[in-house]
Structure 1
């Protein structure tokens, strides 16, 4: 699926991702500033996430729950990793098979560790307020 969207319509794109993603493991690709974190925040909100969302750049992973405390998603930002073994050291495999949505920024840093059913989400800047969005199954 490929769409062009305005950032004001990001909640609609988030809803489509949830509805049409072939898996709950999502790898977000795009240059800095394309809106990966913004889209992930919108997905967490559409899933019913409680509290604020932010990029886990310094903590590597954020956990999101619903209003009842039920686990919804893990949001990873692998930008600061030096190598894939650091992801294994933090217990990545446990997260991947938790049953929660897995939302990963900079997945190319751990490409060899991604499950075969990972869904790739690509974002590109069209202009200051517009993005191109594409989603496809990795394996």
Structure 2
């Protein structure tokens, strides 16, 4: 499924993505600056996270709780040198927890990704809008 949207439409697109009932482990692909973190922040709001969200670039993972007590993990594996670093921080426990796991730069941990996952690819279009593909 593909969506074309501007940033002022991001809330509606996040609602539509959640309505598609994706797998709880979602890999986010896109170039630096494509809007992966921005979209994840909106997904967190859509799922009921009321606290401020931010990129886990340095901490590797941020944990949030929704108003109905679901857990959301947001990973950023951009700075990983190898999969062992992810294993050392317990990534496999998070990824197989049954909780929401939003993963940026998942290509840095290819052997740790659960078989059952969804993928969101985001691209910046020439007019500044975004193309989001959910698969």
Q: Do these two structures clear the TM 0.5 threshold for a shared fold by scoring above it?
A: yes
Match of 1:23?
23
Distance across 1 between alignment mates of 2:2 and 2:50 = 29
TM-score (norm 2): 0.94
More strand by percentage: 1
Match of 2:95?
96
Match of 2:63?
63
Match of 1:135?
134
The alignment's C-alpha RMSD in Å is: 1.3
Runs of 4 or more consecutive aligned structure 1 residues displaced over 3 Å after TM superposition: none
Decide which moves more: 123-132 or 30-39: 123-132
Deviation for aligned residue 1:118 = 1.3
Gaps of at least 5 residues in structure 1 are: none
Does 2:41 correspond to 1:41? yes
Gaps of at least 5 residues in structure 2 are: none
Conserved in 2, the CA contact under 8 Å of 1:21 and 1:119?
Answer: no
TM-score (norm 1): 0.91
Conserved in 1, the CA contact under 8 Å of 2:66 and 2:72?
Answer: no
Distance across 2 between alignment mates of 1:74 and 1:114 = 14
Distance across 2 between alignment mates of 1:118 and 1:67 = 24
- How many pairs are equivalent? 135
Distance across 2 between alignment mates of 1:94 and 1:128 = 41
> Counterpart of 2:75 in 1: which secondary structure?
strand
